[in-house]
A and B are shown apart, each in its own frame.
Chain A
Amino acid sequence: MYLQRIIVLLAFACITIRTTYAQCCSAGNPVASDVNFTITAKKVLKTELNYRYSESGSHYKNDSKLDINFMGKAYSNYSELAVAYGVFNRLEIRGDLGYFLNKTETYNFNNIPDSKGYGMGDLSIQSRYLIYKNFVRKWELSAGIGMKMPIGVFDQEYENVKLPINVQPSSGSYKYFVNAFFLKKLNDKFGCYTFSAIEIASKIDSKNFIYKYGNLYLLSIGCNHKASNKFNAGMQLRNEFREKSSRENDAIVDASGGYILYCLPSVSYNLFNSFYLSSILSFPVYGYYNDIQRSNKFSLNFKLTKSFNLCKNE
């Protein structure tokens, strides 16, 4: 039983959802969310510390690569603190808060200086509920609902010039999401899962800026293997479909949205007790971008997870 718990924890520790945008006009911290799907046990506090490096790739017109010399590299260094607490045996509340160490865009034209933003991103809070768990057949189904709040920096300036939206740390938009997770353990060492999510963004209607990000639909399938008592490896395929964004007067932004298939290999290591270190690489294997957009090249994520049992002495 204990071994099974470990496997499930490790498996889920390796599963991540990142709502990744293509780079052009990617607002703020779309990558803020790092969701762990385990329903935290009652009175257990789970903490996670994330670090992620992301880098942009080439420009694409639909699924064909384009050489656009104007733009240089775009990259970001991002950290995130997540806390989840088991309110009841089947219910957890979770919060994620991110901070961009930098979010940088470079240019290869006319000696234009780099645009660099930094600061607090969005705050994500959600509630997740374990709908059903079958101990005999070893499967479970859970669902979550939550929102992202743009509490971070969205109007950052440099020398009194407002930075472009691409490098603003916060998305500036309230986003609402629902998700569902299904796990089937085939044996003590091997498990498969699916994860699906929908994220709906509200319109940003500020003084000088009107914009609505396209809604996101996500479906992941993955598997996880416990190679040893301390080591765990996983693989996930994630399919993201994003609708087109819109701007003032509900004009559609043609160069937004699309379909991207990501591959996410992951490893996890139990350092000691309930202390885990995991790493996830994410890269697109296929993308269809509406009009012309910059793709994401890869992101590399490191995560430390530690759980605290707050009812140990009861």
Chain B
Amino acid sequence: METKSIIVTFLFIIALLSLSNCKKDKDEQKDLLVTEVKGLSIDSIISSRSSVKAWTDTANITVYASGDNLTISWEADHGSLAGEGKNILYFAGQCCVGLNTITCTVANDTAQVQDTIKINVTPYSR
């Protein structure tokens, strides 16, 4: 019985390690940004601030894009976004201090393009 328990535990550990190696390949492939395809492009992304203080400031970010039937998506690697569409608000906490990347994806029925903007988050102070 003892031996069986040890063998099962050993197999369990092996199974755990195997499972953790099953990461999707796509995670290992960083897509290159494509800001323009035929009939669809991101002309620019503008922010009202290049730097925001944690838990104090917000930055208004606007994307200027060309194309028809656009769907606009946003993502920040650190910090929070509020709003939707072409204009959104960025803000962050103390844990996001540093240079952060906001990614905008513009898509229509046939393609999608991406661009980023960097915003520096500085530490909170009274």
Residue B117 interfacial (CB < 8 Å): no
Q: How far is the CB of B89 from chain A (nearest CB, A)?
A: 7
Q: Pick the contact of B74 from A105, A161, A165 — CB < 8 Å?
A: A161
Q: A145 contacts B9, CB within 8 Å?
A: yes
Which of A181-189, A232-240, A246-254, A260-268 is near enough to bind chain B?
A: A246-254
Q: A157 contacts B31, CB within 8 Å?
A: no
Q: B56 contacts A207, CB within 8 Å?
A: no
CB-nearest residue of chain A relative to B55?
A70
Contact string against A for B residues 49-62, beta-carbon threshold 8 Å, 1 for contact and 0 otherwise: 00000111010000
A113: B residues at CB distance < 8 A = 82
A174: B residues at CB distance < 8 A = 20
Knowing A162-B75, A255-B95, the reply to whether A208 touches B103 (Cβ < 8 A) is yes
A202: B residues at CB distance < 8 A = 20
Interface size on A, residues (CB 8 A): 54
Complex Cα distance, B89 from A260, in Å, reads: 33
Q: A161 contacts B95, CB within 8 Å?
A: no
Q: Pick the contact of A292 from B27, B75, B84, B124 — CB < 8 Å?
A: B124
Residue A89 interfacial (CB < 8 Å): yes
Q: Pick the contact of B93 from A24, A159, A245 — CB < 8 Å?
A: A24
Residue A164 interfacial (CB < 8 Å): yes
Q: B82 contacts A162, CB within 8 Å?
A: no
Most central of B56, B76, B94, B103 by chain A CB within 10 Å: B94
Interface set of A (CB-CB < 8 Å, partner B): 24-25, 68, 70-71, 87-91, 93, 105, 107, 109-110, 112-113, 115, 125, 127, 129, 145-147, 149, 157, 159-162, 164-166, 174, 176, 202, 205-210, 245, 247-248, 251, 253-256, 291-294
Interface set of B (CB-CB < 8 Å, partner A): 1-2, 4-5, 8-9, 12-13, 16, 19-20, 26-28, 30-31, 54-56, 58, 71-85, 88-89, 91, 93-98, 101, 103, 123-124
Q: What are the nearest 7 A-B pairs in CB distance? A: A25-B95, A159-B84, A255-B94, A164-B80, A162-B75, A160-B73, A70-B55
* A–B complex contacts, Cβ < 8 Å, 12 sampled: A24-B94, A90-B5, A93-B12, A110-B58, A127-B12, A147-B16, A161-B73, A208-B77, A208-B101, A247-B98, A251-B98, A292-B123
